[in-house]
Amino acid sequence: MQYRAIVLGIVIIAFLSGCAVIGRNKDYRPFDEQVLTQVKPGQTTAAEVTKMFGAPSQIVKLANGNAYVYDRTLSKATGVWLVLVTMANYDIQHDRIVFFINKNDVVTHYGSSFKTDTAAFGTPF
C-alpha cells in the first residue's frame, strides 16, 4: 500500500512538474479619448489629426481621399506548460480610430472602438 502511494506520488510529481504563465502584452501608448472629442468633421485637418494622435498605423488611399487608421492592441495570455500537456489561451483586443480625410485634407468622418479593456485571462476550454 505504502509502495503504491510512493509510485503514485512519483508519477504525479513527474508529470505535473512545469510552470504556469500569465502574460500581458501591450504594444502601445493608450489613446486619450478626451482628445478625440476635439476632432470636428468638416473642420479638423489631417495635420491636426497627426498632431493629436501621432503617426497613423496605416494609411489607406481611397478614391476621394485617404483613411488614417490608428490601431492599438492588448493581448492577455494564460498558459500552463507541463511535461505532457501544454495549454494556452490568448485574448487579443484592439483600440481603433479611423479618420476619413478628403482631398482637401479635411476630416469628413471618423469612427472609434475601444475594446482593450475587455481583454481577459481565461482557460483554453
Judged by beta carbon, residue 38 or residue 103, the one nearer other proteins is: 103
User: Could you say which of 33, 87, 103, 121 contacts other proteins (CB under 8 A)?
Assistant: 87
Pick one of 39, 57, 105, 112: the residue that binds other proteins (CB under 8 A).
112
94 binds other proteins (CB under 8 A): yes
Q: Identify the three-state secondary structure at position 6.
A: helix
Binding other proteins (rule: CB under 8 A), the pick from 52, 57, 89, 105 is 89
- The residue among 47, 51, 50, 70 whose CA lies nearest residue 60 is 70
CA 106 to each of CA 28, 61, 76, 88: distance values in angstroms, whole numbers, following the listed order: 26, 14, 37, 45
How would you classify the pairing of strands 65-82 and 58-62? antiparallel
For the CB of residue 29, give the shortest distance to other proteins in the complex, in Å. Answer: 17
Q: Which amino acid is at 23?
A: G
Query: Shortest approach of other proteins to residue 45 CB, angstroms?
Result: 19
Side by side, the strands of the sheet bearing 58-62 are 18-26, 65-82, 58-62
Q: Which of 47, 90, 105, 107 binds other proteins (CB under 8 A)?
A: 90
Query: CB–CB of 39/110 below 8 Å?
Result: yes
The least distance separating other proteins from the CB of residue 38, rounded to whole angstroms, comes to: 17
Other Cβ atoms within 10 Å of 98 Cβ, number: 17
By CB under 8 A, name the binding residues for other proteins: 3, 6-7, 10-11, 14-15, 60-64, 67, 69, 83-94, 96-98, 100, 108-113, 115, 118, 122-125
